[in-house]
Structure 1
Amino acid sequence: MPLIRRSIDPVLEGVSLTWSMPVLPERVWWGLTDPEALPHWLGTLAAGEFAADNTVRIKHAEDYYSVSTILDCEPERLLSMTWDFPDEPRSALRISLSSDAGATQMTLLHTGLGAETASYLPGWHTHLLYLEGLLTGRPLDPAGFWGTYEQLATP
């Protein structure tokens, strides 16, 4: 697992994860935004497309959707968007990518999470494990998601 750093920022009510993906930025970008890739690590794209000023709707479970407005979208470099999840405050998600000797360093910053902050750290950690599995040709079994989350959430 190429997790470099993960932390909680109580002032921003947010989480930050920095990860080294052993693939090029275009492959990571595909994983982050392609409708065929999303179900393997995040959810199913139900509406919209990843482009600035667009709105995307992602189905995470039966009748459970997030809605996001894309604020900034620079392919293979930056994805910034709102994060509206049922029964949670509107928050902001920013994912930046940089090339690093044949790999990609990804930094995810999710702020404005309020009372949900602590649960998002192991949540994003788990999602990024699944993203990495997809990108490296070793997809993880979706049935194991919550077990992995629980392991990462346990101190």
Structure 2
Amino acid sequence: MPLIDSSIRTIDSSVSHTWHIAAPTSRLWWALTDPVALPQWLGKLAAGTFVAGDVVRIQHAPDYFCTSRITEYEPEHWLRMTWKFPDEPPSEVTIRLTPEVSGTLIELTHEGLGDDARNYLPGWHTHLLYLEALLLGRPRSMTDFWSTFEELSKFETDFY
């Protein structure tokens, strides 16, 4: 797990993760936007496409969807989108990809989380573990997602 940095910023209620994944940016972009890859690390793409202006709906559990508008993107470089679950205030996710000799640096920032920031830090950490496993050819079972989240929550909420 090449986690480089993770943090909560209380000033703007944001979380961020910087991570190195031993995969080229083209493969990482595929995993971020492809309907076949998404359910293996984030959720099932129920509607939309990852192009600027489009709205995507991602199913995270039965009858529980996140709705996002793609506000900016440049394939293989960055993706910015709104983020809205029915029971949460709207927020914004930015993902930047930087090619490196041995893979890709991914910088994920999620802003405007309010009191939810403490839950999102281990949540995104868990999703990135699953993303990395997918890209390294060792996909993790989504049935273990919440137990992994709970373990990370114990550590990360004590740390911050």
TM-score higher than 0.5 here? yes
Q: Does 1:129 align with 2:129?
A: yes
Q: List 4+ stretches of structure 1 deviating above 4 A.
A: none
The one-letter code matched in structure 2 to 1:29 is: W
Q: Partners in 2 of 1:11 and 1:85 — Cα distance? A: 22
* Cα deviation, residue 142, structure 1: 1.0
Partner of 2:19: 19
Partner of 1:57: 57
Aligned residues: 155
Partner of 1:152: 152
Q: Partners in 1 of 2:89 and 2:14 — Cα distance? A: 12
Where do 5+ consecutive residues of structure 1 fail to align? Answer: none
The one-letter code matched in structure 1 to 2:29 is: W
Secondary structure in 1 matching 2:19: strand
The one-letter code matched in structure 1 to 2:32 is: L
After TM superposition, the score normalised by the length of structure 1 is 0.99
Partner of 1:113: 113
Q: Does 1:85 align with 2:92?
A: no
* Cα deviation, residue 62, structure 1: 0.3
After TM superposition, the score normalised by the length of structure 2 is 0.96
Q: Partners in 1 of 2:86 and 2:154 — Cα distance? A: 24
Q: Percent identity?
A: 53
Partner of 2:158: none
RMSD: 0.6
The one-letter code matched in structure 1 to 2:117 is: T
